[in-house]
Structure 1
Amino acid sequence: MSENTRSYAALRPSAVSSLAGELRLACMRISRRVRYESTDSIAPHQFSVMCRLEESPRSPGELAEIERVSAPSMTRTVGGLVERGWVERAPHPTDKRQVVVTLTDDARKALKDTRRKRDAWMAVRVSNLDPEEQAILLRASEILTKVANE
């Protein structure tokens, strides 16, 4: 049977569980390596918050909810970003008890540089794979994005 006409049987629940664990560990290792190898100076939690702010300005409460952390934890993260000059606080336009956090131009540059370094690290590894492995990763990337968006 050719590869194009091969049918795939559903995995047994124990095999699905095993695959899920292997995928989780592989994704965690790649994420850790990309952060480490790119030698960026942005902590992972700060990078995540900065990416959220790149989408739009937000209140610390909104950021805490999106990032699934406590409000005091987000207050500390935002404070660290303010100290580094990567975000600015401004009064909320409709609720004077709140603030809105926005990225600075320095933060946008830091995000761009960090992404460039991380992409370059990954591109070297992918370029060392054979064409079949690259095609498999292309499909796997689509599938993993689908899983992440559920």
Structure 2
Amino acid sequence: MTQTATTRALGPKGVSALSEELRLACMRISRRVRFESVDGDLAPHHFSVLARLEDGARTPRRLADIEKVSAPSMTRTVGYLVDAGLVGRHDDPEDGRRVLVELTGEGRAAIEQTRRRRGRWMSERVAELTAQEQATLAEAAAILGRIAAR
């Protein structure tokens, strides 16, 4: 069915209602995966900062911009992660006035462990579904991936 045919089948209000249901379901799943799978002291915002450091060191200011939080908030988050041994701070070799934050081995391990826990949480729920529901979700995942890529 083409987009136009789908819009006609659902009608403008139907498309809007479906869009809202999908948005809310995606938000709920995302929240549940982040919070239900938490074990220990690694809060979702801590994990997010660690994941931002996987590709290399960043300044706290850059992290704050990426995470869309204030600089003081990021300073507290980085301080916690340093104290926990998950990141290290050092002077920027190109500009000694700046500080860089980078993952430690423990930080990388925490990322992997959190991803495994989150994956396991989701897998357990999908495994409880019927074969038909799993097939429907496989199709929906491909469609949602296309929507997210736009």
In structure 2, the CA distance between the partners of 1:110 and 1:72, relative to structure 1 (3 Å rule), is: same
| Corresponding residue for residue 17 of structure 1 | 16
Task: Select between 121-130 and 7-16 the one with higher mean Cα deviation.
Answer: 7-16
- Within 1, Cα distance between the matches of 2:57 and 2:102? 5
Higher mean C-alpha deviation, range 32-41 or range 113-122? 32-41
Select between 34-43 and 94-103 the one with higher mean Cα deviation: 34-43
Q: 1:101 to 1:108 in 2, by over 3 A?
A: same
Distance 1:72 1:39, change over 3 A: closer
Per the alignment, residue 63 of structure 1 pairs with 63
Instruction: Please give the secondary structure, in 2, of the residue aligned with 1:132.
Output: helix
> Could you say what the CA RMSD is over the residues aligned between the two structures, in angstroms?
2.0
Count of residue pairs the alignment pairs up? 145
Counterpart residue type for residue 20 of structure 2: G
TM-score, structure 1 length as denominator? 0.84
Deviation, structure 1 residue 48 = 0.7
Partner of 2:115: 115
CA–CA distance in 1 between the matches of 2:63 and 2:129? 38
Q: CA deviation at 1:39?
A: 3.4
Structure 2 equivalent of residue 49 of structure 1: 49
- Matching residue of 2:129: 129
Alignment of 1:32-47 (within 5 A): 32-41=31-40, 42-47=42-47
When you count helix as a share of all residues, which structure comes out higher? 2
Decide whether the 8 Å contact of 2:35 with 2:44 is kept in 1.
no
Give how far 1:14 is off.
2.9
Sort the Cα spacing of 1:137 and 1:91 in 2 relative to 1 into closer, same or farther, 3 A. same
Runs of 5+ consecutive residues of structure 2 not aligned to the other structure: none
Query: How far, CA to CA, are the matches of 1:120 and 1:20 in structure 2?
Result: 28
Quote the Cα distance in structure 2 between the aligned partners of 1:34 and 1:23.
Answer: 16
TM-score by length of 2: 0.84
- Percent identity over the alignment? 54
